[in-house]
Amino acid sequence: MAAAYLEAHRDGRLQERIRKAFQWMKKCTLCPRLCRVNRLAEERGICRTGRHAVVASYGPHFGEEKPLVGRHGSGTVFFSHCNLYCVFCQNYEISHRGEGTPVDADQLAAVMVHLQEAGCHNINFVTPSHVIPQILEALPKAVERGLEVPLVYNTGGYDRVSALKLLEGIVDIYMPDFKFWDASVAGELCSAPDYPERARAALREMHRQVGDLEMDAAGVAHRGLLVRHLVMPGGLAGSNEILRFIARDLSPNTYVNVMDQYHPCGEAMKMPKLRRRITPEEFQEALEAAREAGLTRLDQRHRHWITLEW
């Protein structure tokens, strides 16, 4: 199955999306923060990103979900900065501190083609919500150099539906997080009390665009939605409600990765409720909640729990 953006490039839709996306950057409203700064003039809003995207690292990644990794890895491009800044972020140096190198469209296109030539099954844009225009701008240049693998939009879930519509018929695979169900928790942990509302709307739009995850005969994804949910200590994430929403409002056939790898990072140690890892019981409760909700396509890469005796 051909990547969606190839047709969009041929019929001119991609160029029109690029034009529209850069118009938005003049008074930036790409994400729910609505900073309204002129990023084309290098003004900075909450994402602290101006005209050019900043790339922290790129390369084949074998730690992603199985349908993305296949045999040769997912071609990840880690963008610096973020529009959420979760206090416990596991990529704190990249998201909060902005470590990375600014790249222009030619350089970003070269990165994509390099990852394809390395055998990666897809191009996986990590934390892309604030750099949609820059991704779109680089895409025609990458296509002209032979890019043809699927594109993955790997987001924290804090996206505007109107911005996601710029990606319709261009992004092949959406992989959002759904982090928090409760507005007060989202307000405390990422200063975004509207996160739950925005995430629900974003996931509905993503599913409308691409549907349930589809894989080839080798089990490698080529289109669809894959949702991640990180279980947090003390039920902070609202896992039960989130998993029920996915099954009820999206599809019981949604591919979901219920993740057990929370550990204190970033500024988490400053908050007593975030200072510990989750327990085996908390994780099993979340898995059971997913099954009770009717979700059957659960990613199977879970940690083997070991109880230590001191």
Q: Say which range, 8-22, 50-64, 235-249, 293-307, has the weakest mean pLDDT.
A: 293-307
Residue 64 covered by a domain: yes
Task: Look up the domain containing 162 and give its range.
Answer: 4-293
Cβ atoms of residues 36 and 28 within 8 Å: yes
Q: What is the dihedral of CA 153, 43, 198, 250, to 10 degrees?
A: -20
304 found inside a domain: no
Query: C-alpha angle with apex 75: 166 to 150, nearest 5 degrees?
Result: 45
In a domain, residue 189? The reply is yes
Confidence of residue 1 (pLDDT cuts 50, 70, 90): confident
Residue 84 corresponds to which tokens in the numbers above?
Answer: 């959420």
Count of domains observed in the chain:
1
**Lowest-confidence pick of 57-71, 78-92, 216-230, 278-292:** 78-92
Question: By three-state DSSP, how is residue 295 classified?
Answer: coil
> What value does the mean pLDDT of the chain take?
94
241 in any annotated domain: yes
User: How many angstroms separate the CA atoms of 89 and 265, rounded?
Assistant: 6
Does residue 305 register a pLDDT over 50? no
Q: Which CATH number covers residue 277?
A: 3.20.20.70
Taking residues 278-300, report their average pLDDT. Answer: 96
- What percent of the chain has a predicted confidence (pLDDT) above 70? 97
pLDDT for 303? 46
90, two tokens: 């596991």
What's the rounded mean pLDDT across residues 249-269?
94
Q: What is the pLDDT of residue 309?
A: 32
Is residue 301 very low, low, confident or very high in pLDDT (cuts 50, 70, 90)? low
User: pLDDT of 54-91, one tens digit each?
Assistant: 999 999 999 999 999 999 999 999 999 999 999 998 88
Instruction: Give the Cα separation of 152 and 126 in Å (integer).
Output: 8
In a domain, 305, yes or no: no
Which among 303, 264, 306 has a CA at the least distance from the CA of 283? 303
Structure tokens at 204: 């509905």
The verdict on residue 38 lying in a domain is yes
Does 159 map to a domain?
Answer: yes
What are the tens digits of pLDDT across the range 149-181?
999 999 999 999 999 999 999 999 999 999 999
- Distance separating alpha carbons of residues 164 and 159, to the nearest angstrom: 7
In a domain, 299, yes or no: no
